[in-house]
Structure 1
Amino acid sequence: MADIRIIRGQRIVPDVAQALDFTGYGQNGEGRERAEGMCRELVPLLRRLLQAKAALAFTDEELYVVMTLGPAVSRQLDRYQDDGDLMTALLFNAMADTCLFALEKQVLQQLRLICRQKGCGIACRHEPGSDLPLAVQAEAVRQTAAGRTIGVKVNDSLALSPAKSMSLVFELSDDADRFEVRHDCSACPKTDCSRRRTEKMKNVRLVCPAGRRVHEYIQSQGIDLALPCGGRGMCGKCRVRVVKGNLTVTPEDERIFSKEQLQDGWRLACRAVTKEAVELSIPVPEKQGFAAVAAEKDSGGAEKDVTEGHDYGLAVDIGTTTLAMALVDCTDGQITATATAVNSQRAFGADVVSRIEAACRGQGKALQQAVRRDLCTLGRQLLDEHPAAASTCRKMAVAANTTMLHLLMGWSCEGLGNWPFRPVSLGGGTYDAAEVLGPQNPLPGGKVTLLPGMTAYVGADITAGIWQCGLAASDEVSLFVDLGTNGEMALGNRDKRFIASAPAGPALEGGKLTWGTGSVPGAICGVRIERGRAKVRTIDNALPVGICGTGIIEAMAALVAEGLVDATGKLADPYFHKGFPLASTLDYERITLSQQDIREIQMAKSAIRAGIESLIERSGIERRRIQKVWLAGGFGYYLDPGRAAVIGLLPKDLADRTTAVGNTSLQGAVSLLTGAVTMEELQAVAAGAEEVVLGNDEAFQHLYIEYMNF
């Protein structure tokens, strides 16, 4: 049973100045003076009507709070509205809001004392109707017994009654010093609120000339428009709205948008071609921090100071989805700082196959410019933040899969897209920085070294990972798996190594999913389900914007465990048609996992699992000899192996031998810069591996079908 506490508001006074700000009055002027006079006349009445109370209910893991100003305030507001006195109603409503905020402040002050007494803390704050479904208010009322304790109920529209009431949900923490209870304006759905400080999205307007492919024109104007599906009209993420003019509705538009949305002008940019000049509104996320895994700093996670007289370099991991860069002290071998970003090439497709196709269609130069721009931006960012290192920073080491190296160097991708898959180069060379990064690079006169890869689809990032984990130097057999857009893996020891690449696709990194996203603030990274309702954790505790890799795995594991998804991957009713709701965005849009999303996840996890099993079988290495499993990549770093085993992504018998090792690709580049490994040693690792080609393997095809189920 919940521990219920009642708090009564004490000496709450309406804040007239704040109320005038809420209603949009400026700081001066006759209108504000008149409104201020009306507010002051209303203060005594409002104070007499106030019956401010709050009910708190502590459960094992959560705290539910319901607050109200009482029914008399709401009835008075209704009278003003019924009488048609809209000006008075507006001002009275705004002043009541200031009282509700004042009550909230008092409750939070009391809550800190109560939490100290109970020996618990607050991990984060949730607001029904914002980052939780509005229906959670019913649970808050039930848990707090608000109908009995403070006279608050939930009506048929899931709103609280009386109207001047609010509910909150807090996640409890064992850390009594943690108290994350404040409202985050950037996570509030009231985007027109005067209290709001920042916004997550902006709308960019431009006029697209006649006879142009809309997405190509938008990208030519420097706007980063995501095309995870490669422009096939499948993912629906390149949406734009017609403000003026006409764009023909395509079959792909009809599949993605409702009739109402089509009437409002929504179209997919990737399928649209203009017949006349058209003015468009393009929703673009504001620039925000990116929380990909870079590499572990030797200084315990804190940035270290630049040391005068030391040489510096830049280590780089170019992932299909993310980029990571480290400023490295080459003299003492330590990482000074790291920076991460989304790979802008995602605008041309979410996976390597889409980008190879785009490059072969004549967009290779644009792909090269995109990654060059990203790397130069990251490099300048690190050197601007550490200017003392700039004068001695003259080299860069790059680890990447073979396709990413081709796109960076501007090499032809024709040999990567067709059997027998002959790359122009597997890396291993050193070049002038200007040749690799362009003339405006952050390393004038510097050199760039590309780590060596092994095959067309097992690249230098895996060479680095194999060396970093010691797989090629140990007598002990171990399995290395890099969970990215391609599930690249290696099995063996110093004597013999087998490698493979499973075509997983981008689903486990958020690509092709309706609400898939990278590891950005607000990405759902943790999910559990209680009483049929999802409870989510987001990166930086920000308002949900989508779901990233670890969130996908945790959500699927929870759905399977709760019986909401059966063994075949079918969602239970009533979620089959509309998807299972996880959270709500800033604009009250439901973030869901749809039935189609689950099919994409099934195909991705099945490819990786079938790849692991095929590699073990084809290697001839007995399963019982595998002592360790190394799980690499930014996605793998946060993954719970037990959850991955629940859905069949990893074998259950190997889950307890699995260790997450982070971004070994970047770590390998760091090691090359610092001299911890030589180019000759990396080339020996690359040369000593035998590839298992899964695409032509009949056993892989059978296993792929077998592991499709959960």
Structure 2
Amino acid sequence: MNGYDLFEITFEPLGQRGSAPTGQSLLETARQSSVGLISLCGGLGKCGRCRIQISKGKASTVTPVERNLLSREELDLEYRLACQTYPLSDLIVQVPLESLSASQRVQIEGIRMEVQPEPLVQTYEVRLSPPSLSDLRSDDTRLLEQLKQRHQVDCVCIANEVLPELSTKLRSLDWHISAAVRGSELISIKSWPSRQLGLAVDLGTTKVAGYLVDLETGRSLKANGVMNPQIAHGEDVITRIDLARRNGADARLMRKMAVEAINELIADLVSQVDASPEDISEAVVVGNTAMHHLFLGLPVDQLARAPHVPGVGHAVELKAREAGLSASPGGYVHLPPNIAGFVGSDHVAMIQGTGVFKAGGTALALDIGTNTEICLVHEGKMTCVSCASGPAFEGAHIACGMRAADGAIEHMRFVEQSLQYFTIGNQEPVGICGSGILDAIAQLYLAGIVDKGGRILKDHPNVRSRGRVREFVIVEAGECCRESDIILTQKDVREVQLAKAAIRTGIKMLLEKNGLSEYDIDQVIVAGAFGSYLDLESAMVIGMFPRLPLDRFRQVGNAAGTGAKMSLISRTKRAEAQRIAHLIRYIELAGEPNFKEIFLEATA
């Protein structure tokens, strides 16, 4: 140990260096050193994805968790889990490619909806006469009276955030300004003419999508997406909620991460249109109840315990600066209402964005993810459920799983007893993403290599056994960017069985509650990033979706983002979102007496 009681940790082949005090894990050191190690479980020693190799130096002894998740061969080669390993000297650590988080394909586009702009923020040109000995009115009175006289605007107050700069700006702009008014409050003053921009955000568990909109015309200007940095603290909402419950510092950090991700999007989007963050006078943020509560810094303990009740269900409005967002000093951020359980405003936005609530006949709308929300619309009535489908469709808990990044196998087909694969970006394969896993299991089932119960059978040259567990070799090590073969294991098949069973159970119970069968479904709307890229035929083959004609399905992209934009552009649509949330009936699946029976049936 050196004189500062710190060990130097070098992460190769990245060349990144960091310092670790006694008692700090290599995972935490990697985070502080901007090394993007995958940690789907938030460092709890459950996922086994933060695998590293000790090249030089001394580390803590191997833990029982590592003996369970790593093979004997890996341990002999000094492979460790970063979350379980603590330095006892300076270390040189090798980071395998598959342990690094890659830049993921983020679905930001959704349905195009024509919405008549009805912005909550109105902009007015104001010319003022400067004060004189014969006109001693204060600056604020002068401005408010001119708004009333010239534009018949009953503006009764000026935002506290604007007051410190009011007098200076009026004079520097020579008394000719652009005044932005929201309701009866003046929220910004700028030079005339000026633009009023809005920001819509879909704050997802895995990804954050942002949309920059011209509030006056309703036109979408730019869109972009980033990974939710909270992933470093857990792949799913349950892990993050548990962390937030145990440690207030972690809760504050996750809030900070969400805010910084949105601010990163703001900086990128405004730079593309030669604007400033201060041009954003209104924002709308949608997300599930966990993301909503973490973003607002609300308690999440009640979400973790049955019956999983949100602390706040109604719509929330606060100043954007108060939320930590880079925006106009007096601008607002609006969070539409949540529904119940983990079903939040993103589901309301998805329903509004697809227009499914106005559908005739019977329609299903699904937003597939770590937590899948499903809404059944029948005879004008809406019923919804939330399914804990888990992160398998994000590539988590899968032996060679990864997110949808370059090099991920996204589709597979069996051709003459050979499994052909297609990767994102036409790169050498690194692993398998969710749509690829779905295809692999469907294709192996159709080829007779996986039976109806999900067992991998022996009679194929690519099938091998590791102990008692069978696995199918998709790509050999020499043909991919990994140190080992890309495989599909029996455990992987079970993970997907559980995920698809959760979704199928949700569908079946919604139908039962409404006295319907699968054959009564007129249309199925599939939303979200995974839903945009999955093969519908594969989803039906493995039993995740009912066997229906393909022309009854619609894959619509990020419909939640579309709904968020609608609430941003139009006060009428914002009120409509309130009505949708109020009209939806929520069913807690775990509270249904036949839930376990239906779920077990759906695993086959």
Residue 410 (structure 1) aligned with residue 334 (structure 2):
no
Provide Cα deviations, 1:468-522, integer angstroms capped at 9, x if missing partner. 2223223432111111111211112463211101111111121211222222222
What amino acid is aligned across from residue 323 of structure 2 in structure 1? V
Letter of the structure 1 residue corresponding to residue 264 of structure 2? T
CA distance in 2, matches of 1:544, 1:557: 20
Q: Secondary structure at the match of 1:292?
A: coil
Report if the CA contact (8 A) 1:609-1:648 is conserved: yes
Q: Select between 246-255 and 354-363 the one with higher mean Cα deviation.
A: 246-255
Whether the 8 Å contact between 2:497 and 2:603 is mirrored in structure 1 is yes
SS in 2 for 1:313: strand
Percent of aligned pairs with the same amino acid: 32
| 2:109 equivalent in structure 1 | 295
Find runs of 4+ consecutive structure 1 residues off by over 6 angstroms: 284-288
For residue 227 of structure 1, the aligned residue among 33, 36, 39 is: 39
* Equivalent residue number for residue 568 of structure 1: 453
Superposition pairs of residues 365-376 of structure 1, within 5 angstroms: 365-376=252-263
Aligned AA (1:291): R
Structure-2 separation of matches of 1:274 and 1:289: 29
Q: 1:345 aligns with which of 219, 230, 243?
A: 230
SS in 2 for 1:698: coil
- Contact 1:210 1:274 survives alignment (8 Å): yes
Contact kept? 1:326, 1:335, Cα under 8 Å: yes
1:421-460 equivalence runs, <5 A: 421-426=308-313, 428-437=315-324, 441=326, 444-460=329-345
Does structure 2 conserve the Cα–Cα contact (< 8 Å) formed by 1:630 and 1:659? Answer: yes
**Aligned amino acid, residue 580 of structure 1:** F
Query: CA separation of 1:365/1:628 partners in 2, compared to 1, >3 Å: closer, same or farther?
Result: same
3-state SS in 1 of match to 2:223: strand
Distance (Å, rounded) in 1 between the aligned partners of 2:38 and 2:323: 25
Counterpart for residue 262 of structure 1: 75
> For residues 240 and 588 of structure 1, what CA distance do their matches in structure 2 show?
12
Find 2:545's aligned residue among 630, 637, 650: 650
Does residue 591 of structure 1 match 2:404? no
Given the alignment, which residue of 547, 551, 559 partners 1:664? 559
2:522 is paired with a residue whose SS is strand
Counterparts of 1:137-156 in structure 2, within 5 Å, are none
> C-alpha displacement at 1:276, in angstroms?
5.8
Listed as ranges, the matches of 1:546-695 within 5 Å are 546-573=431-458, 574-577=463-466, 579-583=471-475, 584-621=479-516, 623-653=518-548, 655-675=550-570, 677-695=572-590
Considering only aligned residues, what root-mean-square deviation do their CA atoms show, in Å? 2.6
Q: Does 1:314 align with 2:199?
A: yes
The answer as to whether partners of 1:472 and 1:494 remain within 8 angstroms in 2 is no
Contact 2:202 2:561 in 1 (8 A): yes
Aligned runs of 1:211-222 on 2, under 5 Å?
Answer: 211-222=23-34
- 2:59, 2:85 within 8 Å by CA — same for their partners in 1? no
- Please tell me whether residue 249 in structure 1 is matched to residue 134 in structure 2: no
Q: Residues 128-167 of structure 1: CA distance to partner in whole angstroms, max 9, x if unpaired?
A: xxxxxxxxxxxxxxxxxxxxxxxxxxxxxxxxxxxxxxxx
Contact 2:241 2:300 in 1 (8 A): yes
Please give the alpha-carbon distance, in whole angstroms, between the structure 2 residues aligned to 1:482 and 1:328.
Answer: 24
Q: CA deviation at 1:281?
A: 4.4
Question: For residues 253 and 287 of structure 1, what CA distance do their matches in structure 2 show?
Answer: 21
Quick one: which of 205, 208, 212 aligns to 2:20?
Answer: 208
* Residue 182 of structure 2: aligned partner: none
Structure with the larger RCO, 1 or 2 (CA within 8 Å, 6+ apart): 2
Name which of structure 1's ranges 443-452 and 630-639 shifts more when overlaid on structure 2: 443-452
Structure 2 matches for 1:27-42, cutoff 5 A? none
After superposition, the C-alpha distances for 1:558-599 in whole angstroms (9 at most, x for unaligned) are: 111111111111112233436222334324532221111111
* 1:554 positional shift: 1.2
**Structure 1 gap ranges (5+):** 1-199, 300-307
Q: Which residue of structure 2 aligns with residue 239 of structure 1? A: 51
Q: Please report how far the alpha carbon of residue 654 of structure 1 lies from its aligned counterpart in structure 2 after TM superposition.
A: 6.2
SS at match of 2:566: helix
Write the deviation string for residues 187-227 of structure 1: whole angstroms up to 9, x where unpaired.
xxxxxxxxxxxxx9735343422122332343344443322
- Residue identity opposite 1:452 in structure 2: P
Query: C-alpha distance in 2, partners of 1:292/1:640?
Result: 18
Tell me which amino acid in the other structure corresponds to 1:370.
M
Q: What is the one-letter code of the residue matched to 1:517?
A: M
Give the Cα separation in 1 of the matches to 2:444 and 2:300: 40
The CA deviation at 1:389 is 6.0
Mapped contact 1:247–1:278 kept (Cα < 8 A)? no
Listed as ranges, the gaps of 5+ residues in structure 2 are 1-11, 114-192
Q: Offset of 1:619 from its aligned partner?
A: 2.5
Larger Rg: 1
Quote how far apart the aligned CAs of 1:646 are: 0.4
Distance (whole Å) between structure 1 residues aligned to residue 496 and residue 530 of structure 2: 14
Aligned to 1:178: none
Q: Deviations over 1:592-635 (max 9, x none)?
A: 21111111111000110111001110223455443111111111
CA distance 1:448–1:411, change in 2 (3 Å): same
Amino acid at match of 1:246: A
2:266 matched to 1:379? yes
Distance 2:376 2:421 in 1: 35
Which amino acid in the other structure matches residue 290 of structure 1? Answer: Q
* Equivalent AA in structure 1 for residue 492 of structure 2: D
Preserved CA contact (<8 Å) 2:202 2:560: yes
Q: How much has 1:689 moved relative to structure 2?
A: 1.3
Mapped to 1, the partners of 2:219 and 2:484 lie a distance apart of: 44
Of 196, 205, 220, 1:335 maps to: 220
Deviations 1:622-678 (A, max 9, x none): 554431111111111122222110000101036541111111111111111221853
Give the whole-Å Cα distance in 2 for the aligned partners of 1:599 and 1:539. 25
Q: 1:81-121: CA deviations, max 9, x gaps?
A: xxxxxxxxxxxxxxxxxxxxxxxxxxxxxxxxxxxxxxxxx
Contact 2:518 2:546 in 1 (8 A): no
Q: Aligned equivalents of 2:451 and 2:349: distance in 1?
A: 39
Kindly tell me: are residues 432 and 646 of structure 1, through their superposed partners in 2, closer, same or farther at Cα, counting changes over 3 Å? same
Query: Does structure 1 residue 531 correspond to structure 2 residue 416?
Result: yes
- Aligned letter for 1:514? A
Could you list the per-position Cα deviations for residues 414-444 of structure 1 after superposition, in whole angstroms to 9, with x for gaps in the alignment? Answer: 0100023222213521222223235xx3555
Query: Per-residue CA shift, 1:362-388, capped at 9, x if unaligned?
Result: 121222122222222122112222223
Say whether the 8 Å CA contact 1:298–1:334 is kept in structure 2. Answer: no
Give the number of aligned pairs: 500
Distance 1:545 1:676, change over 3 A: farther
- Structure 2: distance between partners of 1:381 and 1:593: 39
Change (3 A) 1:281 1:640: closer
Aligned to 1:173: none
Change over 3 Å in CA distance of 1:217–1:279 after alignment to 2 = same
> Is the CA contact 1:570–1:576 (under 8 Å) kept in the aligned structure 2?
no
> Distance between the aligned counterparts of 1:211 and 1:201, measured in 2?
25
Secondary structure of 2:339's aligned partner: coil
- Deviation for aligned residue 1:274: 4.7
Q: Please state if 1:399 is matched with 2:286.
A: yes
Q: Secondary structure at the match of 1:461?
A: helix
How many Å separate the matches in 1 of 2:520 and 2:580? 21
